[in-house]
Structure 1
């Protein structure tokens, strides 16, 4: 097995996208390829078929490889939950919360988990494409960094560096990273990729000539133009361009401070007759015919945030006036009557009154629900999943929102009370029929869902991403190293 690291000059440089594109390209070349990220920090998570939790970015990369996601693709996941630190997920299972200072004390134990997991991949694929985290040359963190160069060294691999020209300072990004590396790590580098170029490419014809005097021996393999139509998912759900996206009736997504799994919004982006994006403004929420409260990594804290800004009243008033209000996961919990978390196992501790729009109450326990399932809407079935702390029970007569399937057995799921809906399912909007159901209930006037299910759209995107990278990056050094 060969190992190819995809490192970045910093967070948000495009490592996840580039890793998925390279995975798709290698699959196209007939290579048995798999993705890996030793440690990810994200509240955007996925549930595997055997009930493990992993970062959704690696699940997307697995899909680009034609593989089912497994927790061995992301052995360590950190889920930030506010001032208390992060929940630590190891090989798919939660190990409780940990402050940053305490987490660094666990680094060597977690590295052993990573190293053992890397060994399991040696016989399972031809190439392991390993995404890094942040920058590989954070001087204060390098000694305990388990996500960047250490996995490359462990497997005697090679690595690429991705820099983001869109944010500016590309030469400082590349030359500065090169200068802070030691010679042994430089020797493993195959080259740099300038990512997210916008505008006239003829104005940036030869970055190598500019970089060479400051980073001798560091080849620039190509410049990749930014293609907003080739974005299968954003790491955290919304990009800056998604704050006001599309034309038509407004579907307002309330972006709370601890919002999680915001990729639930993305199947809407290619539909016609709908305008959506993150919303924190009372006037936007008051005018919208449909409001969605997404998932949360700290439900009580986000509920208090809504209350402090008066958005709880805005949402209740909108529901009373006939606006369709939908809660997903943590948003579902907020729509209920009470939330009980006396010890703070899911975030901030306390008892908090919910928005009172659904006859349910939620109590948080240490056990976490992780369940892959099949959703159903108007005869259409597709894959979805649950990932949440807390048990939600009825406090009065309840009507299920829909039916889901587990191991061939149907069961009712979610709650609806008139024009207020709640569900624990992530991926519920991936079916065109489920989106059409919401649009009809909200009274959207000119809505038309994309005819192709979101999962199929993603598969077509991976092929286009592979073609895009191959057209703009000299991949010969990668070919020579991999022997393809």
Structure 2
């Protein structure tokens, strides 16, 4: 019989995704067929499944923790913010519509059906499903029609564990306050709680755990000490990617775009001990460095305008004049060209805007989204390159003749005549150790060879051990309820 448990948070960014990844790895190590599930995610950092669908990057990591391929059913609803008030809605891997936040509620009944369908389909091949909530159930203004937290838990009849974050302070108020504002039925669905991100001697919070248990009636599962290795795991939120500044070494500057997307390209670089990676926020100039990497964007034209408003276009031109290297990936690739045309108004008003002009290519936005896993080859070194494409638009022009990647004998990407400015649509290309080392060595980096994939796997093992050492995971497993048909 398949069982399920849901991990919700007393607030956003309390560490739910990491907790679920660690739980998935722990129970998979016990020999269970474990699957992650998140009914609704909101992120512009997506992964492409083998069947060409989109899910949240966190669910792809959780699938890795389970030792299985990511599937669209692991995250049936993905919201990809395009503006402050509107998002693209991905349902079971495919784009459904772009809607304003105030109109999204009308879709929720339809979306709940898709969530339940995916959940039950996923259960067909699992012993245990570990479900991740989104945001917090304490946002009771969103309870009507909810599909992310208690609305889904009620519809699927799933017991809940609530996680609080002590690092931000006020964790007793987080958890007890959540109990106070929930309806009796929703509060009763929560069976246990845990406290995450504790720094120092956890026994100092023994009285705090007792207070929370007494005031809520929920069972305490334990206190999770701060996990120092969290930065070694792929991040879903750009806020979780720290600038990795080291003395000396090859310096990479990454402008933080407003709608940065699919920035998992940065994870292997920020974990490479031979590199110094700086995430540059608006208002700060691009520093003197060896490589400027312009990442993907959910709204390329708007981010290009913000890039110019920050003065980064001037900084980038100076960097190129000094002989520095530039790499644009996906939206960053489009920005580096001579122009971007959006004749159908897919990203806003229909218009054509000038690009940064460092590559002799032009991009035209088109409604068909390219979604595919890609196996290519680095032309200079012959090393394999694996990644995925997830973009709107077609890019063409003279500099595609200087392509530096090849796929099935066809050119991929573009480069300037001197090879210092390059671009491509391929995300995840730096996950491959041989390619990453070969590419960076050509740019002058030294000693950058390390096994990134093995490091992620080892960190997941360490995370599983970390949780097993501080939480009552037998009790958590016993709380899991049956998946009902």
Aligned partner (choices 368, 386, 389) of residue 389 of structure 2: 386
Match of 1:182 in 2: 183
- Report 1:252-401 matches (<5 A): 252-280=253-281, 285-347=286-348, 349-377=350-378, 378-381=381-384, 383-395=386-398, 398-401=401-404
- Report 1:55-454 matches (<5 A): 55-83=56-84, 85-215=86-216, 217-231=217-231, 232-239=233-240, 242-247=242-247, 248-280=249-281, 285-347=286-348, 349-377=350-378, 378-381=381-384, 383-395=386-398, 398-404=401-407, 409-417=408-416, 418-444=419-445, 447-452=446-451, 454=452
**Are the counterparts in 1 of residues 222 and 471 from structure 2 also a CA contact under 8 Å?**
yes
Distance 1:288 1:345, change over 3 A: same
**Are the counterparts in 1 of residues 294 and 332 from structure 2 also a CA contact under 8 Å?**
yes
**Matches of 2:174 and 2:182, distance apart in 1:** 13
- Matched residue SS, 1:287: coil
CA deviations 1:299-352 (Å, max 9, x no partner) are: 000100111222112112211221100001000000001100133213564211
Structure 2 length as normaliser, TM-score? Answer: 0.93
Distance 1:480 1:244, change over 3 A: closer
RMSD after superposition = 2.1
| Superposed displacement of residue 191, structure 1 | 1.1
Q: Once superposed, which parts of structure 1, at least 4 consecutive aligned residues long, lie more than 6 Å away?
A: none
| Superposed displacement of residue 397, structure 1 | 6.3
- Matched residue SS, 2:177: helix
| Superposed displacement of residue 286, structure 1 | 4.3
Distance 1:403 1:108, change over 3 A: same
| Superposed displacement of residue 401, structure 1 | 1.7
Unaligned runs of 5+ in 2: none
Match of 2:462 in 1: 464
**Matches of 1:16 and 1:85, distance apart in 2:** 24
**Are the counterparts in 2 of residues 270 and 450 from structure 1 also a CA contact under 8 Å?**
no
The answer to whether residue 5 in structure 2 is matched with residue 4 in structure 1 is yes
CA deviations 1:356-378 (Å, max 9, x no partner) are: 11111110111100011124343
- Matched residue SS, 1:116: helix
Distance 1:281 1:38, change over 3 A: closer
The alignment of Structure 1 onto Structure 2 pairs a total of residues equal to: 475
**Matches of 1:272 and 1:396, distance apart in 2:** 33
Deviates more, 1:118-127 or 1:197-206: 197-206
- Matched residue SS, 1:222: strand
Structure 1 length as normaliser, TM-score? Answer: 0.93
Distance 1:287 1:142, change over 3 A: same
